[in-house]
Amino acid sequence: MKITSSEFEHQSSIPQKFTCQGKGVNPGLIIEEIPQNTKSLALIMDDPDAPGGTFVHWVVYDIPVANHIAEDSVPGEQGSNDGGGVRYVGPCPPSGSHRYFFKIYALDKIFNFQKRVNKASLENAMSGHILGQAELVGLYKKK
């Protein structure tokens, strides 16, 4: 599996448009080599460089199988982020440059959770159901 963006290269700067200093919308993502028998996709975006430990920016699951997640979209069901909301939170590091991991998972099931999930509960539910995965890392430092 492979995940890329037409907005930035792996290990390079995320454009300001997708951060707290811009529109704060999600970048478009391209997903390739999705395994056969994939029933849904899940996406987790987090920042392991946050001062208080890894900060979860976006949790999306039950994404229909597709090769593209559009810019400024809600491609599936959204879980809770670490800001207390249920949406994409753009990069906004308090100091220095941080790494932002966009992790995509191909899953052999659709979850249809009855209540809101967070990253930890989604990861627990995905255990044993991951057919493939990939990650894209973007960098951001406030201007």
Query: Mean pLDDT over all residues of the chain?
Result: 97
**pLDDT per residue over 115-137, tens digit each?**
999 999 999 999 999 999 999 99
| Nearest Cα residue to 118 out of 74, 55, 40, 59 | 59
For every residue of 98-139, DSSP letters joined together read: EEEEEEEEEESS----SS---HHHHHHHHTT-EEEEEEEEEE
Q: What is the DSSP letter of 77?
A: E
- CATH superfamily placement of domain 2-141: PEBP-like (3.90.280.10)
- φ, ψ for residue 126 (rounded to 5)? -75, -20
What's the rounded Cα separation, in Å, for the pair 69 and 48? 23
pLDDT in tens, 63-115: 999 999 999 999 999 999 999 999 999 999 999 999 999 999 999 999 999 99
Indicate the pLDDT class of residue 57, thresholds 50, 70 and 90: very high
Give me the residue spans of the domains in the chain: 2-141
* pTM exceeds 0.95 for this model: yes
Structure tokens at 13: 């700067």
